[in-house]
């Protein structure tokens, strides 16, 4: 009889922090939002182990050979297959003191914590799909619930293996630490970025009697003692991704609209609170100005299409009217390569985007300006009845810096690369305004962009 080869148990416990909001969808909908987040038995956000497993497997396929990935995560092919050698627990939320909330808690225990109560009232992000004319697409309105930036989770990973798996185990840790490792939905819309707060590691050799006894006595509780702390894990080198740095500052007023009104104006900027940890304790900050990646991504997408058509000699007055739709929106080659496309109704195939953005939060200096507007009757030239409205805009002058990751295969085509970089140049020169009400003079920025390797 062949001896069982897998005598080692590689184990780690990670505490991770949401470096951007997380859209960990439950796959359901409710009366509040189209896509609520996944929650545990205490109605608090959680990350299922299957979510982490799927994302990790997909990410490792960029680094490791497919045969190795199948050997670790298992596979099924017709009449043959193998089970997974990696076990990933669900990630449970930490309370304000850094203790993992696991198991069913009494409602009074949850209600006694203002921090945990706040996590039951999560932000809802509003979205609206815009066509190439800058107009909302019919039935293009949707929303989703997100977990606050700064919320922490804890989970464990175990790999059943041998000494030969040590290099792969290291690759797994480096992959999780990578800045392009994102989880949940909307990973190309600014959500899903993680930051590793702490890692504890322990390797058990089941051929050793003491290790075998310790492994059998190991608790499943995420609050129990674990192993040795790893001070730092170097992120995996992004061999397939190119990083761009875009730093811009507003020239004057700007606004990323919330879609809501307040007691001063009908149109207001979007704000959101985040969680900050100080001396091991969490608390919610005052509201921050939110610069949603979705708004910036949409503007960039339309300008990329324009530049790509310009570089490839595609102009509206030189092609048949019925063929224009083949060069705009998701049908544009550059847009599809960089930002992906939805599933085709006939082929059922879609494509994930190859450009990763992140939401930005800025300290609110409370400086705003209110503009009064009235719609004009195009026939009489007078004010339309009941058409007076106000907008509150920001006068915040602080610079904004994005780290944008683009998959290198998406910009292999020189025209696509030129269109992408020309768009960044437009933003930095104030030729592509960002945010809302740009036709009323808001949202002009100035700055600079550069590939990360050229940064001093």
Q: How much is the pLDDT for 456?
A: 36
CA distance 8 to 20: 35
CA distance 425 to 293: 18
Q: How much is the pLDDT for 455?
A: 40
Q: Which residues pair with 244 in a beta bridge?
A: 404, 451
Q: How much is the pLDDT for 135?
A: 63
Q: How much is the pLDDT for 62?
A: 86
CATH 3.30.70.1890 boundaries in the chain: 8-24+38-121+147-230
CA distance 238 to 453: 12
- Of 331 and 234, which is predicted with more confidence? 331
Q: How much is the pLDDT for 132?
A: 60
Local structure of residue 25 (DSSP, 8 states): B
Q: Is residue 2 over pLDDT 60?
A: no
CA distance 223 to 220: 9
Q: How much is the pLDDT for 133?
A: 62
Q: Give the residue from 160, 270, 133 showing the smallest Cα distance to 215.
A: 160
The most confident of 33-42, 215-224, 228-237, by mean pLDDT:
215-224
Mean pLDDT of 103-108: 90
Q: What is the mean pLDDT of the chain?
A: 88
Q: What is the pTM of this model?
A: 0.88
- Of 26 and 275, which is predicted with more confidence? 275
423-456 confidence digits (pLDDT tens): 999 999 999 999 988 888 899 999 999 988 644 3
- Of 377 and 190, which is predicted with more confidence? 190
The CATH classification number of 8-24+38-121+147-230 equals 3.30.70.1890
For CA atoms 254, 398, 455, 453, the dihedral sign is negative
CA distance 409 to 354: 9
Q: How much is the pLDDT for 134?
A: 60
Q: How much is the pLDDT for 90?
A: 94
Q: How confident is the model at residue 309 (pLDDT cuts 50, 70, 90)?
A: very high
């Amino acid at each position: 009889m062949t001896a069982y080869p897998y005598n080692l148990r590689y184990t780690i416990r990670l505490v991770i922090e949401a470096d951007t909001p997380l859209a960990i969808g439950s796959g359901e909908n409710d009366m509040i939002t189209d896509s609520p987040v996944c929650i545990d038995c205490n109605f608090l956000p959680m990350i299922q182990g299957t979510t982490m497993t799927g994302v990790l497997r997909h990410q490792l396929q960029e680094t490791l050979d497919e045969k190795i990935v199948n050997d670790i995560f298992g596979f099924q092919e017709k009449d043959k297959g193998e089970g997974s050698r990696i076990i990933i627990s669900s990630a449970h939320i930490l309370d304000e003191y850094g203790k993992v909330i696991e198991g069913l808690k009494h409602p009074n225990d949850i209600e006694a914590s203002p921090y945990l109560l706040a996590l039951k009232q999560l932000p809802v992000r509003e979205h609206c799909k815009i066509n190439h004319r800058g107009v909302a697409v019919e039935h293009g309105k949707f929303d989703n619930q997100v977990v606050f930036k700064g919320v922490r989770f804890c989970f464990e990973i175990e790999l059943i293996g041998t000494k030969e798996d040590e290099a792969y185990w290291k690759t797994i840790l480096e992959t999780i630490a990578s800045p392009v490792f994102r989880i949940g939905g909307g990973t190309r819309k600014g959500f899903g970025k993680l930051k590793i707060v702490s890692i504890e590691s322990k390797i058990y050799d089941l051929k050793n009697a003491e290790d075998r006894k310790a492994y059998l006595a190991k608790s499943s509780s995420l609050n129990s003692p674990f192993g040795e702390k790893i001070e730092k894990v170097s992120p995996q080198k992004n061999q397939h991704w190119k990083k761009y740095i875009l730093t811009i500052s507003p020239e004057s007023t700007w606004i990323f609209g919330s879609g809501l009104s307040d007691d001063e104006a009908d149109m207001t900027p979007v704000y959101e609170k985040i969680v900050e940890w100080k001396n091991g304790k969490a608390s919610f900050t005052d509201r921050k100005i939110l610069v949603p990646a979705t708004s910036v991504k949409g503007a960039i997408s339309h300008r990329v299409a324009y530049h790509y058509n310009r570089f490839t000699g595609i102009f509206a007055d030189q092609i048949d009217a019925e063929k224009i739709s083949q060069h705009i929106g998701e049908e544009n080659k550059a847009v599809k390569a960089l930002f992906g496309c939805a599933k085709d109704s006939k082929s059922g195939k879609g494509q994930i985007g190859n450009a990763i953005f992140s939401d930005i939060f800025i300290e609110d200096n409370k400086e705003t300006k209110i503009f009064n507007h009235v719609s004009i009757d195009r026939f009489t030239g007078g004010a339309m009845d009941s058409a007076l409205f106000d907008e509150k805009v920001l006068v915040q002058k602080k610079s904004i810096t994005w780290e944008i990751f683009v998959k290198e295969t998406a910009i292999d085509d020189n025209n696509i690369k030129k269109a992408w970089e020309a768009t960044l140049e437009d933003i930095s020169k104030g030729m592509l305004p960002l945010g809302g009400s740009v036709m009323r003079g808001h949202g002009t920025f100035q700055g600079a962009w550069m590939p990360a390797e050229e940064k001093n």
